[in-house]
Amino acid sequence: MPAEGRESVTRILAEMADGDRSAAADLLAHVYDELHRLAVALFRDQRAGHTLQPTALVHEAYLKLSASDGVRETNRAEYLALASTVMRHLLVDHARSRHAAKRGGGRERVTLSALSGDQPGNRVDVLALEEALGKLVRLNARDAQLVELRYFGGLTSEEAAEVLGISRTEAARRWRTTRAWLADELRELDVP
């Protein structure tokens, strides 16, 4: 997103924080394409006929975000971080409901395309990732937030560093280490 677009999002978020409810429509116009690109990337390797589609995920996430009590985010990166959390919860809830519907008939994997530098075609089971993230939160909540920002939020290392208040170098180092830990953890959970 060009600098003027980022500044517009920051301005709109400030207007929303000041109670301007009409600014929410402006915000959607500025972030929709970015959220949709993220959702499309999350669904890249999904099976045909998946019951949740990228557009529906974006709309549902936006509705949840706009229904919250006031905007606390101050810039585009923070807003996208929150959006990534909401999308993650929606995907996990969807996967759990699919699993519950199939109970007794075996678990159907709901997978996500690997993002942010992983090999193309590498897929991760969203429920296994959620379980691994739960363990990571207990070990290091900041690293778990970094995974959420990069994997679910699609933020760059620089954007994630800004949200977390750490240097770009530190964010890149933590991302390499945390991805390696996640890969080991997912292997232990017997996820291909």
Residue 103 has pLDDT above 70, yes or no: no
Residue 192 has pLDDT above 60, yes or no: no
Please give the angle made by the CA atoms of 37, 40 and 45, to the nearest 5 degrees. 145
For 40-77, the pLDDT digits (tens) are 777 765 555 566 778 888 888 888 877 766 566 677 77
Contact 16, 30 (CB under 8 A): no
- The residue type of 139 is L
For 116-129, the pLDDT digits (tens) are 444 444 566 777 88
Q: What does R_g of the chain's alpha carbons equal in angstroms? A: 17
The residues with which 125 forms a beta bridge, in sequence order, are 111
Q: Count CA atoms closer than 13 A to 60's CA, side-chain side.
A: 17
Give the mean model confidence (pLDDT) for residues 91-108. 63
Residue 23 has pLDDT above 90, yes or no: no
